[in-house]
Amino acid sequence: MSTYEYDFFVIGAGSGGVRAARTAAALGARTGIAEARFFGGTCVNVGCIPKKLYTYAAHGSHEIADSAAYGWQFAAQPTFNWSLLKNNKDKEINRLNGIYKNLLSSAAVEIYEGHARLVGPNRIAIGDREITARHILVAVGGQSFMPPVPGIEHAIDSDDFFELTRQPESVLIVGGGYIATELAGVFAGLGTKVTLAYRGGMLLNGFDHDIRSFFTDAIKNYTNLKLNTDIERIQDLGSTKEVFFNDGSRQSFDAVLYATGRVPATANLGLTENGVEFSDVGAIIVDKHFESSAPGVYAVGDVIDRVTLTPVALAEGQALARRLFGGPKQQVSYDLIPAAVFSNPQIATVGMTEDDARSYHKQIDVYRSRFRPLKHTMTGRDSFSLMKMVVDRESDRVVGLHMAGDDAAEIMQGMAVALQAGATKAQFDLTIGIHPTAAEEFVTMRTPVGD
């Protein structure tokens, strides 16, 4: 009989941790889990779920404006209530927190609410309580990175955004990635005057260059975009914040929000003291089985900084639990992972960018389509979509798909299945499109663009 209280103990009840705990318990492992903040992790509480809810609200203003072209008339000007949106969001997140706790309880996972840390081999302390476990999983996720800018204490981060009880009339968003661009679209859609400052020359680093260029141009329709710009300092003026830019200019805003990335939340967990090694960016280094340099200590999700997406953390947590406790073997593949940015316009992608494909394949063909969606031929809105396909010429396999436009994420999920199945350009060409839709563009592109 084991001398440990638990076969498996998880620190962090986010997506990866909860999936690992439930899977382990279902396989017969005595399992415990500790959470110091909120159940469901970043995604449920301050990430993808509340962000998407706010995005729906922002889209409402566009739908109202566009409806006039389709015959709708309103007796009074619609108004927006920020506090009501926040309160309804809080209710939904609280409901999801309860669901996560119930999922754990119903799976016979013992729950500890408190800060857990390693205190020795196979030993965890939660407050004054010390427990032992044969296997320990660290799945604590990440946290916002705030650079050491003078006056940074007067700025908020993306976590703080979801606690705002009053809508700012003007906001400066600093950053150029997922979070910065998504929140720019939310604020602007809800009526806030948005300035977006980014140190680079084009937004969304890491995406296909055509998508980056298209989006960087599109966002200028609703933001004051300041590229190649750094913030030198922030001064608190009471009701406003004065920001000093590196070009010598200054401007006041009701709020300043930093969305300059997230880092693994590994502080105060006793990891270094117990032999856990970290990468240069502070991520826990793990092997192909998610085991760290400390025997019996594992990590999954954002804390290992491989692909920081919720579905990836779920897959990693499940694969680890199955390997440890005898379930069906599962290998996590980091190829062909689809991703989306819920910005305005929405972006979705799967597979290689054009630049990646050119460096990997001898010859490629690139197909591209830019068009105005049917809806906006009547609204007159200056809104376009861009679709792009990258094909390995030798095998005819489609190796990358990219889209910016309405419903991009919903469309790309199905496309990801096709790429996983090894679909060729000829098979896309043989597929009958659904007309009239944006998605049919992916099966009607016939002529590659020139090199």
The CATH number of the domain covering residues in 339-443: 3.30.390.30
Long-range contacts of 413-419 (CB under 8 A, 24+ apart): 413/338, 414/439, 415/338, 415/350, 415/442, 416/336, 416/338, 416/350, 419/336, 419/350, 419/351
* pLDDT tier, 241 (very low <50, low <70, confident <90, very high otherwise): very high
Q: How far is CA 323 from CA 165, 331, 350, in A?
A: 45, 10, 28
Domain residue ranges in the chain: 6-143+263-325, 152-260, 339-443
Residues 6 or more apart whose CB falls under 8 angstroms from that of 193 comprise 169, 170, 171, 224
- pLDDT (mean) for 197-212: 98
Position 264 pLDDT exceeds 70: yes
- pLDDT (mean) for 281-299: 97
* pLDDT of amino acid 348: 98
* pLDDT of amino acid 329: 86
Residues 6 or more apart whose CB falls under 8 angstroms from that of 197 comprise 172, 173, 174, 226, 229, 230, 231, 245
Position 159 pLDDT exceeds 60: yes
Whether CATH 3.40.50.300 fits 152-260: no
Asked if 141 and 41 touch (Cβ cutoff 8 Å), the reply is: yes
- pLDDT (mean) for 363-385: 95
Q: Mean pLDDT, the chain, as a whole number?
A: 96
Cα–Cα dist 7/2, whole Å = 8
435 is catalytic: yes
pLDDT tens digit string along 93-139? 999 999 999 999 999 999 999 999 999 999 999 999 999 999 999 99
Q: How far is CA 77 from CA 65, 83, 288, in A?
A: 11, 19, 57
- pLDDT (mean) for 245-274: 96
Cα–Cα dist 297/118, whole Å = 9
Give kind and range of the element (H or E) at residue 293: none
Give kind and range of the element (H or E) at residue 91: helix 82-106
Whether CATH 3.50.50.60 fits 6-143+263-325: yes
Position 330 pLDDT exceeds 90: no
- The structure's pTM equals 0.96
User: Among 62, 115, 154, 435, which one carries the catalytic annotation?
Assistant: 435
Q: Is 195 helix (H, G, I), strand (E, B) or coil?
A: strand
Position 1 pLDDT exceeds 50: no
Interhelix angle 15-26/82-106, rounded to 10 degrees, is 20
Do 339-443 and 6-143+263-325 fall under one CATH topology?
Answer: no
Cα–Cα dist 106/408, whole Å = 36
Position 177 pLDDT exceeds 90: yes
Query: Nearest-CA neighbor of 122 among 29, 21, 3?
Result: 3
User: Sheet holding 364-371: strands in order across?
Assistant: 339-341, 347-351, 398-404, 385-392, 364-371
User: In percent, how much of the chain has pLDDT > 90?
Assistant: 96
* pLDDT tier, 450 (very low <50, low <70, confident <90, very high otherwise): confident
Asked if 425 and 442 touch (Cβ cutoff 8 Å), the reply is: no
- pLDDT (mean) for 10-29: 97
